[in-house]
C-alpha cells in the first residue's frame, strides 16, 4: 500500500484521530420497539424485497480494493455507537467522539438494537433458495472485511448494515435539521458501502434502506424517543460549536468522488 493510501485508510478508519476513550463495557440498551411491533414489521418486509436486476452484481467490480472508496466502505462497516457517529463528522464539521456524548450513544445504540431485532425476525422469512452474497457468487471475489465461512455463505438478504445505516441517516437528519438532506445522503453512502464491500447485492441494499427508514419512523413515534432525541440534539449542537474538525474529511471527499451511492428513488418512509 502506498503511504498516501495507508494514511487515508488510517484516517478513514479512525486510527489516526484522537479518540474519546474506549467504550464502556456495559450491556447494550434495549430498542424502542416491542417484539410484537418488530414482528409486524418483519411480516411486511417481503413485499419490500427487490428482485435482482441486470446490474445487481455490477458494483462488485466497480470499486477496486485499495482505493479510497474501498477504505471508506471498510470504515463504514463499524456501525456500533459511539464509533459510528464519526461517519457524520464531516457533514457536521465537528468531531463527535472527541468528548463523550452519552445521549447520542444511547439513541444510536437503541436504534441498532431495533435494527438487529428486525433483521433477526426477517431472516426466517427469506425466500428459498436464499439470495447469495456477491462473494459467494463470484469465484475469487474478496470482501473488504474478514468474513467467517458461515457469514460468507449466509443469505445476502436482509442487508442488516443498510437497515442500520438508513436509520442513522434519518436520526442525524432530526439531530441537525439544517443538514437533513446531507445526513440522509450519508446514511445511503454507509448503506451502499455494504455492496462496495461485496457482501450484499444492490437490491439487498435498496430494500434495507427502505426498511431502515420505516424502522426509524416507528421508533421515533415512541414517547420515550422524543425526550432522548432532545438530549442527543443538544449534544450534537454543542459539538458543532467546539471548533474541531475531522482530519479524514479530505480523504472522505476524495473517496466519494471516486464512487458515490445512487440517488434515492423513493422518499423516506414517514
User: Which of the four pLDDT bands, split at 50, 70 and 90, describes residue 4?
Assistant: very low
- Average pLDDT for the chain: 86
pLDDT at 9: 38
The arithmetic mean of pLDDT across residues 56-76, rounded, is: 91
Q: Is 145 helix (H, G, I), strand (E, B) or coil?
A: coil
Strand partners, 132: 155
pLDDT at 186: 98
User: Which of the four pLDDT bands, split at 50, 70 and 90, describes residue 190?
Assistant: very high
Contact 159, 200 (CB under 8 A): yes
Domains of the chain, start order: 37-47+67-139+167-260 (1.20.144.10)
Looking at per-residue pLDDT, the higher value among 38 and 266 belongs to 38
**Grid cell listed for 127:** 425466500
User: Which of the four pLDDT bands, split at 50, 70 and 90, describes residue 188?
Assistant: very high
**Using one digit for the tens of pLDDT, what is the confidence trace for 127-153?**
777 888 999 988 888 999 889 989 998
- The whole-model pTM stands at 0.87
**Using one digit for the tens of pLDDT, what is the confidence trace for 240-251?**
999 888 899 999
Contact 113, 30 (CB under 8 A): yes
Burial class, 181, CB count within 10 angstroms (exposed 0-12 / middle 13-18 / buried 19+): exposed
The pLDDT of residue 24 is above 70: no
Amino acid at each position: 500500500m502506498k503511504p498516501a493510501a495507508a494514511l487515508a485508510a488510517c484516517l478513514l478508519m479512525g486510527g489516526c484521530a484522537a479518540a474519546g476513550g474506549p467504550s464502556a463495557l456495559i450491556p447494550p440498551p434495549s430498542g424502542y420497539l416491542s417484539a410484537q411491533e418488530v414482528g409486524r414489521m418483519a411480516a411486511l418486509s417481503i413485499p419490500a424485497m427487490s428482485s435482482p436486476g441486470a446490474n445487481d452484481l455490477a458494483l462488485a467490480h466497480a470499486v477496486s480494493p485499495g482505493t479510497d472508496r474501498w477504505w471508506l466502505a471498510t470504515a463504514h462497516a463499524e456501525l456500533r455507537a459511539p464509533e459510528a457517529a464519526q461517519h457524520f463528522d464531516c457533514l457536521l464539521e465537528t468531531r463527535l467522539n472527541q468528548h463523550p456524548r452519552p445521549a447520542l450513544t444511547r439513541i444510536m445504540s437503541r436504534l441498532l438494537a431495533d435494527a438487529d431485532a428486525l433483521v433477526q425476525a426477517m431472516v426466517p422469512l427469506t425466500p428459498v433458495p436464499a439470495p447469495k452474497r456477491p462473494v459467494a457468487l463470484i469465484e475469487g471475489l474478496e470482501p473488504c472485511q474478514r468474513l467467517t465461512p458461515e457469514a460468507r455463505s449466509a443469505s445476502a438478504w436482509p442487508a442488516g448494515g443498510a437497515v442500520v445505516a438508513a436509520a442513522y441517516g434519518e436520526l442525524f437528519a432530526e439531530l441537525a435539521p439544517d443538514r437533513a438532506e446531507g445526513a440522509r445522503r450519508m446514511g445511503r453512502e454507509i448503506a451502499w458501502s455494504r455492496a462496495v464491500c461485496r457482501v450484499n447485492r444492490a437490491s439487498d441494499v435498496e430494500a434495507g434502506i427502505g426498511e431502515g427508514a420505516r424502522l426509524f419512523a416507528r421508533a421515533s413515534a415512541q414517547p420515550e424517543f422524543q425526550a432522548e432525541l432532545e438530549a442527543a440534539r443538544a449534544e450534537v449542537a454543542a459539538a458543532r460549536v467546539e471548533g474541531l474538525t475531522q482530519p479524514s474529511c479530505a480523504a472522505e471527499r476524495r473517496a466519494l468522488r471516486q464512487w458515490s451511492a445512487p440517488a434515492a428513488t423513493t422518499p423516506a418512509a414517514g
